Structure 1
Amino acid sequence: MPVPPLTPQQRADALSRATAARRQRAEVKHRLKQGSSGIAEVIADGVHDAAIAKFKVSELIESMPGVGRVKAGQIMDDLGIARSRRVRGLGEHQTRALIDHFARA
């Protein structure tokens, strides 16, 4: 299905919304890396916030201190979470397993 043509104003509005969402996700990553926010808090925020709901779980895990791309992949594999999963798509058991994993660490 082709994308409908957008007016210049619609295009500008979409670009500003996309920029705001990227900034918000970058701020969340920074909070996680600094330890001022926990993964449970971010996942809970994803219920009400579309920008966080579209956050890839792999990026979320990589934002945790001491976790890189390889370790994030191993964690996701161990918890049975697909690498393409987004915060919005996490099931109840996956969410609990992810929160418990970082609570132990």
Structure 2
Amino acid sequence: MTIPQLSSEQLGAAREAATQARRARAELKDKVKGGELSFSTALDKALEDETLSRIKVIDLLRSVPRVGVTRATEIMENLQIAPNRRIRGLGRHQVERLNEQFG
């Protein structure tokens, strides 16, 4: 299958959409890091929004104050969540256990 050729306008629109999505995800993580949003609230918000649901779980965990690489990895292992899992890929029980952990 060949890659479709896009016009410069289509490429520009795609770049803009990708930039907006990255900014939205970064803003959510910054709000969690700054204490404006709790982890549970951010998780609920990400589950409802298609753009935000593409954040990796470990990245959102690492944005929580006092949770670094080691603790985030430990939490993921304890809750049996794959290291490359994104929020939209979490099961109902995994979401519940994450909310219990930070609720």
Query: TM-score range, shorter-chain basis?
Result: over 0.9
Q: How does 1:44-59 map to 2 (within 5 A)?
A: 44-59=44-59
TM-score by length of 2: 0.92
Q: Is the 8 A contact 1:53 1:88 kept in 2?
A: yes
Alpha-carbon distance between aligned partners in 1 of 2:3 and 2:53, rounded to the nearest angstrom: 23
Partner of 2:71: 71
Q: Is the 8 A contact 2:40 2:102 kept in 1?
A: no
Q: How does 1:23-62 map to 2 (within 5 A)?
A: 23-62=23-62
Structure 2 gaps, min length 5: none
Q: SS state of the match for residue 48, structure 2?
A: coil
TM-score by length of 1: 0.90
Q: How does 1:63-102 map to 2 (within 5 A)?
A: 63-102=63-102
CA deviation after TM superposition for structure 1 residue 25, in Å: 1.1
**Residue 10 of structure 2 is aligned to residue 10 of structure 1:** yes
Q: SS state of the match for residue 19, structure 2?
A: helix
Q: Which amino acid aligns with 1:71?
A: R
Alpha-carbon distance between aligned partners in 1 of 2:42 and 2:4, rounded to the nearest angstrom: 34
CA deviation after TM superposition for structure 1 residue 2, in Å: 3.9
RMSD: 1.2
Q: Which amino acid aligns with 1:9?
A: E
Q: Which amino acid aligns with 1:56?
A: K
Partner of 2:21: 21
Alpha-carbon distance between aligned partners in 2 of 1:12 and 1:23, rounded to the nearest angstrom: 16
CA deviation after TM superposition for structure 1 residue 48, in Å: 2.9
Q: Which amino acid aligns with 1:41?
A: T
Alpha-carbon distance between aligned partners in 2 of 1:87 and 1:2, rounded to the nearest angstrom: 31
Instruction: Name the count of aligned residue pairs.
Output: 103
Q: SS state of the match for residue 61, structure 2?
A: helix
